[in-house]
Structure formats: C-alpha cells, structure tokens
C-alpha cells in the first residue's frame, strides 16, 4: 500500500504532488508491462499444453469389437516377480506359492522371459500386418525398491496395459490398481498418455489409494481352493472398503453399458467412483460369478460382439438370465488345451478365451487352441493365430496384453 505524508506550505505542496504523480506513473508503467508480458506468455503456455486438434480424436473406443485401428501392447522386458504380500497370495494358486516365496522381488526366469519377449514382438508384427497401429510403453527398471509413508515394495512390469488403462469414448482412464508392486506402473505409460492428451484426448486418473495396511484383510483366511470358494460366495475379499481401488481389467464395455465384478483387486468404492464418473452417459452393471479367485473379468466373461459373449463354463455368471432376456447369445468356450505342466504363475488355463477382437469377424487367438478355433469358425469369425504360451505365464492373454486406443465406431446401446 502506497503511503505519502502531507507536507505544509505551497512549494512543499507542489513538491508532494509531483512526487505522488511520479510514483503513480512508474507503478502504472510496471503494471502495464506485467500485463503485456503475461499476454505474450499465454499463447506459448497454450501451445505447450495442446497441439492443433485433429478432426478426429486419436483416442476413441466404445466396445470390445469395433474395427481396431490403434492398440497399446505391453512389455515383458525387465518383468519382476511381485513380493509375496497378502494381496498377491490371495490372487495366486497354492501350488505357485513356493515360486513367489523364492523369487519375489527378483526377475522372472531369464530364459522364460526371453521367449515371452520374442512372442510379444511377433504378436506386434501380426497386428501391424492386420492393419493395426501398435504403440508400446516405456522400458522401466522394475527392480528398484521404493518406499511410501505406508509401505515398501519393488515393481513388477508393464506387461498388461488392460489392467491399468481403459478407454471409454475419447477418454483414457488410468486405474488406481490394488497391488503394492504395481503402485508406480503408470509411469511406463505416461509418455504415451501425454501424447494422446496433447492431441485432444481426455485423461482422467482415478484417486490413487495409499495402499496402507487398512486396505487389505491381513488375516484373509486362504489355505485351500475350498476356502476361496466359501469366501467368494460370502462376498469376502482380501481388499477392504478402506479406500477406492480397482483394476481396469475388471470392467468390460458394450457401448453405453459397462459390466464389472467385485474382485480381489476391485472394491465397491472403486466401482462407485467409476459409476459416478461415467454417469449419466454410461451405466455400470455389477455382475458376479462362481469363481474362487475373482480377478479381472476377461477370462471369465468376454464380450466379443453386439449381444455376443463368451461365458466361462467353470465360472458361471449368476446374472446370466438378464443377458438372455436382453436377447444376447451366450457361448460357452471349450476346455483349454494348455498342458498341465506349463507354468501359469499368475493366471488360469482359461486365458484361451482371453481373446482380442480385431473387428466383428476377426479375432486374435492362441495358435495352440484348436478347439476354440473351431468354435469361432462356427460363429463366422476368422481366427488370427498367434503363439504366446510363455507370455501367458506372466498373467495374461491377448486381451490382457493390450489396451485398444482407437476403434472405428459410434456410441450405441446393446443392452436393454
């Protein structure tokens, strides 16, 4: 605040007036220069945030089957076994617990990882041959230990973009995740997401959980498969309702309707956050399955076309009648052919139905699963066959290993 003492006398009065005028003049000049500088900087700030918007947003997908134009494919490089914490134990099978106890925090077996990397490279080549643009996350050193105020962990991988990223319309939604080993997984995808954002996509990051001990039932009583069945039937999971958490792979899209399961990694608070965020344009439906180890919906209930869904016969959907009443065709895929001795450290054999639709008439499917090829043939769908057996061991099939960035289609309703 400008303060001026009044001076007595004529000459002193004139001198004071001159002083005040000079000071005000300099103040006005500085203010004008500041305004001009801000105006000059503003266009440069806007240019840094966004490029000229194209006629079409580079990010747009409403369902799982419209013609695929661009996709993110994960990386197996540097993948590490997650530390054997309570949330990892609840999501893995007992026969693999010794593997986690031995290798937790270390690299997956090197020879196996090398084969997985080669398989995913070939998968990318085949996608390009089918006319799809392929993008990849950044390579990251997942061996580094990190500490938050609530926990200490090491990283895991950026192999399964479906788990962390979901595209709804022209919006990329970054999931908060629920495993401590995946807390910083988003970092591998940020360069891609920023690029899409600059070109016009919407970008939302769901609330990041602290992943403190309160998020997990530290005494979750799992000893046998029977224990798992009993707990799942009672609606008891290793994640609590302490704070919102979800993996994007527990949601599956069908236009204006998205279907989700409460699982070991997705809680009701996370589902409610998504419901409020996407309303009123989209509706979230909670469905459930007879599944002792619910984690990610796409090897249990995979929507492959308008009103067409693969439903796992070993994990029947409790709400299947509402799909039949809506006129949907429910297809039960055949029993997987993957050998019993092939390691599946983070998943079940039902990755055979974890397929990626290239459009309504083309599907990317495991080259070894001859019976499911015949099933797709009977549906009038061509199988694009790729072998990713070693990549399967890291916890995913074709749907898991990808996030569809752009599909050519429009927003429609398929579920009444």
What six digits make up the tokens of 131?
Answer: 């006319």
Picking from 277, 353, 345, the residue whose alpha carbon sits closest to that of residue 315 is: 353
Write phi, then psi, for 303 (nearest 5 degrees): -80, 120
User: What burial letters (b/e) apply to 359-396, b meaning 16+ CB within 10 Å?
Assistant: bbebbbbbebbeebbebbeebebebbebebbbbbbbbb
Other beta carbons within 10 Å of 93: 15
* Active-site residue flag, 129: no
Catalytic annotation, pick one of 66, 163, 247, 359 = 247
What six digits make up the tokens of 320?
Answer: 């299947």
Q: What is the CA radius of gyration of the chain?
A: 27
User: Which residues lie below 8 Å from residue 110, measured CB to CB, with a gap of 6+?
Assistant: none
* Active-site residue flag, 400: yes
In 267-401, the DSSP E strands lie at: 283-286, 301-305, 308-311, 329-331, 356-359, 362-366, 382-386
* Active-site residue flag, 163: no
Residue pair 255/414 in contact (Cβ under 8 Å)? The answer is yes
3 state SS of 379: coil
Catalytic annotation, pick one of 80, 112, 296, 390 = 296
Catalytic annotation, pick one of 124, 245, 317, 400 = 400
Catalytic amino acids? Answer: 247, 296, 400
């Amino acid at each position: 605040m400008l303060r001026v003492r009044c001076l007595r006398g004529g000459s002193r009065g004139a001198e004071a007036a001159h002083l005040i005028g000079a000071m005000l003049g300099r103040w006005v000049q500085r203010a004008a220069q500041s305004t001009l500088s801000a105006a000059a900087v503003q266009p440069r700030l806007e240019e840094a945030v966004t490029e000229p918007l194209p006629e079409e947003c580079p990010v747009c997908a409403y369902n799982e089957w419209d013609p695929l134009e661009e996709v993110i494919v994960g990386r197996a490089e540097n993948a590490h076994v997650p530390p054997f914490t309570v949330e990892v134990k609840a999501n893995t099978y007992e026969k693999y617990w010794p593997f986690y106890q031995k290798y937790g925090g270390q690299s997956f077996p090197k020879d196996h990882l090398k084969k997985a990397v080669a398989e995913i490279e070939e998968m990318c080549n085949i996608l390009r041959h089918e006319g799809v643009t392929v993008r990849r996350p950044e390579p990251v050193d997942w061996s580094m230990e990190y500490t938050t105020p609530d926990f200490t962990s090491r990283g895991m991988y950026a192999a399964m973009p479906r788990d962390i990223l979901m595209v709804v319309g022209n919006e990329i939604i970054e999931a908060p995740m629920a495993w401590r080993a995946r807390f910083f997984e988003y970092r591998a995808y940020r360069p891609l997401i920023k690029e899409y954002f600059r070109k016009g996509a919407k970008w939302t990051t769901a609330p990041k959980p602290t992943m403190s001990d309160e998020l997990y039932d530290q005494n979750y009583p799992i000893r046998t498969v029977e224990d798992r069945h009993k707990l799942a039937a009672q609606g008891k999971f290793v994640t609590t309702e302490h704070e919102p958490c979800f993996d994007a792979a527990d949601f599956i899209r069908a236009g204006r309707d998205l279907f989700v399961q409460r699982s070991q990694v997705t809680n009701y608070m996370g589902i409610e956050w998504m419901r409020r965020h996407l309303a009123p344009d989209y509706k979230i439906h909670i469905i459930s399955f007879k599944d002792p180890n619910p984690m990610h919906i796409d090897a249990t209930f995979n929507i492959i076309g308008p009103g067409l869904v693969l439903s796992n016969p070993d994990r029947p959907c409790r709400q299947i009648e509402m799909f039949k009443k809506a006129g949907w065709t429910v297809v039960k895929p055949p029993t997987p052919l993957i050998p019993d001795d092939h390691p599946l450290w983070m998943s079940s054999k039902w990755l055979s139905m974890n397929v990626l639709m290239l459009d309504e008439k083309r599907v990317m499917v495991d080259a070894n699963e001859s019976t499911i090829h015949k099933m797709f043939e009977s549906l009038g769908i061509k199988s694009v066959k790729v072998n990713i057996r070693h990549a399967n061991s890291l916890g995913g099939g074709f749907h898991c290993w990808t996030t569809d960035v752009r599909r050519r289609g429009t927003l429609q309703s398929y579920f009444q």
